[in-house]
Amino acid sequence: SHQKATRSGSSQAKKSQHAEEANFYMNCRAAYLAVLKSSLENIKSKEQLSLVLQQAGRNPSQKTLNKYWTSQTTTLNFDDFCTILKQEKTATKTELLEAFGKLDTDKTGYILHDELYQVLTMRGERMSRDEVSSILKQADFNCSGKLDYNKFCDFYMAASEQCCKTAREKLEVDSRLRQQQFGSQTETSSSAGITLPVSKPSPRISRKTDHKVAPTKGDSRSPSRPSSAQTCKAAVSTTITMGASSHRNTKLIEPDTMKEWQWAQSKGCFYLEEDGEIISHKYKLHLPQRSAVCITIKPLNIHQVEGKPCPWLSVDTALFILRENETQEHLQLVNFTEQQTKEMFGWKGELGSGVYWLLPFTTGCRLKKVKQQITGEAKLVYRGEDGDLALTKEFRAALLDIFETIDLDGNGLLSLEEYNFFELRTSGEKCDEEAWAVCKENFDMKKNELTRQGFMDLNLMEANDREGDPSDLWVTLLSLGYNKALEMTEACPFVIDVYAEKCKPRIKAMYLEAGSWQLSRAVCKSVLNKGEAKVMDGCENIVVYTYKADRRITSVIENKSENKVILHVNNEQSKNCLSNRGLTVFAVEVAPKSMMVSQHVMPQSEQEEWVYNCVHSLV
């Protein structure tokens, strides 16, 4: 009986601790998202740090801010923020009363305004007289030239609590914020074109869960959020050991056969937005008759200045092939490119006549915001001996690479359609037929398409319009993924090839936009179709699917219940892994009757073994 009582008490203590941790984590999220768009977005300034801390009910002094934002700090992520909140506790009423009590030597419960002015404006972290006046004008706790500091403390505590409450309420009400926090890749089970597996047992479903995590040396950091799956009643663990990448050489098309097949090609690009979202071109593929086809995608190996890095060549690329039915809203997933030949991914099969959508995809494991120490700024223009402006050699090289990327059909010329994708990306506007006619009068064109030289001259004209000020040119370059050293670090150009045995395929870029719900749905569906499923022990309505390829592991969470669920995701025991989340430990919220991507993981070094060890646990 005594042992039962002890175990019961221990269990209650653990539940209480876990509830406390979950509440702390929820407050962290609420405060962060009250200021920033996504938990993947970083705090970029001391002022922003102060705002986020205030939303969490803290009132940081300059000394506190300087402690965490030093001269070497460039950004702080959500993990860092949670660590700060754990260290910087909110002041209790008792602590505040003790501080005021040191000034109130007669223990009257009041402090004269004149005395308070002197203390707050002359000692420690000094406040301005206006700041002090704004406090003393509050009628709730001031009268007859005195501050009732007991009432002031009540007011302070209530205001602090209200900040947290407001941030929490905003998070609960705004479903868009909740989705962005967890990556907006949630899919509702009832979405058109998706049929989720029924609840009967599947041969791919394993109900055995191994909670034992082998100790592995990982390059993970200490979590600043509740992470211990052992304290959760329901959890599912997945461990996969992957060997060094061999770049499997699966021949998609035999060399002799390829000569007989008809071919179409289009280029495109992934661009990284400021908030970490990835946008890319979307394509329509027309097949006039049923045919065996082969569709491939790979990073575009454009010419680079010697010694300049080419970070985009290691970015993972994939294509999801969707069949168009009566309306674009009803796209059916056909397949995706999972066969690999070095950096190329492809799919080979048979497609009926009709219209298909090709949706490019990258996990975001390697195409992501990175901290860079760049000294100086590359020069874009200069004045020659005659006083005329000219483009520098480095800028010309970058413009040639840009031209190569935006020349989607690869004919060495820019059509109005191709140029408008460039304009939409860099200025948000389109060039109409009338403006294009003006371009034709002023810049070199062939067959109503802009030449490389014409494109160069157009950028030179922009520099001349600003009398050599490169500001607008930098806006263009930064929006296309270049940094101030003229390195393309936040974009990945790619090329798509379509081969058909019995007809001439036609491919055309239709949009340049962020990943649509169709793409999110296709990613989830592909993992459900080809991944291993594990039902969560203790909660059969939660299923975690894990898809394994040679260079990528993707997990999808399906919530079959009528209620939303929050899951902790712990990767602390993983080794040599890169996650698109950028975090070792995080949480995801899954809406009722829906599914969503938990994370994508790739090897940090492809030349070494990598171990994926992930525990999903229910809060």
pTM confidence score: 0.65
Measure the CA–CA gap between 452 and 303, rounded to whole angstroms: 15
User: Which amino acid, one-letter code, is at 345?
Assistant: F
Distances (CA, A) of 122 to 63, 100, 129, 241, 489: 16, 16, 10, 62, 49
Pairing of strands 539-548, 585-590: unpaired
Q: According to CATH, where is 2.60.120.380 located in the chain?
A: 249-369+493-515
**Strands 610-618 and 565-570, how do they pair?**
antiparallel
| Highest mean pLDDT pick, 176-185, 218-227, 498-507 | 498-507
Mean pLDDT of 73-102: 83
Q: What is the rounded average pLDDT of the residues 35-47?
A: 83
Say yes or no to pLDDT of 39 above 80.
no
What DSSP state is assigned to residue 443? S
Measure the CA–CA gap between 70 and 479, rounded to whole angstroms: 29
Q: Which residue intervals of the chain bear CATH 2.60.40?
A: 235-247+528-618
Mean pLDDT of 164-177: 64
For the segment 397-406, what is each residue's pLDDT rounded down to a tens digit? 999 999 999 9
Which residues lie below 8 Å from residue 413, measured CB to CB, with a gap of 6+?
Answer: 407, 446, 447, 449, 450, 451
Q: What is the rounded average pLDDT for all residues in the chain?
A: 81
Q: Which CATH architecture has domain 249-369+493-515?
A: Sandwich (2.60)
CATH fold of 9-87, please? Recoverin; domain 1 (1.10.238)
For residue 69, give the DSSP letter.
Answer: S
* Residue 63 pLDDT class (50, 70, 90 cuts): confident
Q: Is the pLDDT of residue 220 over 60?
A: no
Distance CA 63, CA 44 (A): 18
232-259 per-position pLDDT tens digit: 458 899 999 998 875 555 566 555 567 7
Structural fold of domain 93-163: Recoverin; domain 1 (1.10.238)
pLDDT at 99: 79
- CATH 1.10.238.10 range(s) for the chain read 93-163, 375-489
pLDDT the model gives residue 78: 84
555's CB contacts (< 8 A; 6+ apart) are 238, 527, 531, 544, 545, 546, 547, 597, 598, 599, 614, 616
Tell me which fold the domain 235-247+528-618 belongs to. Immunoglobulin-like (2.60.40)
C-alpha 248/C-alpha 606 separation (Å) is 13
For the chain, first and last CA: distance in Å? 30
Per-residue H/E/C for 103-125:
HCCCCCCEEEHHHHHHHHHHCCC
Q: How confident is the model at residue 171 (pLDDT cuts 50, 70, 90)?
A: low
pLDDT at 310 over 50: yes
CATH architecture of the region 375-489: Orthogonal Bundle (1.10)
Residue 338 has pLDDT above 80, yes or no: yes
User: What value does the mean pLDDT take over residues 320-348?
Assistant: 85
Confidence at 552, pLDDT banded by 50, 70, 90: very high
Q: Look at the block and give the residue holding tokens 């001996």.
A: 385
What pLDDT digit, counting tens, does each position of 475-508 carry? 999 999 999 999 899 999 999 999 999 999 999 9
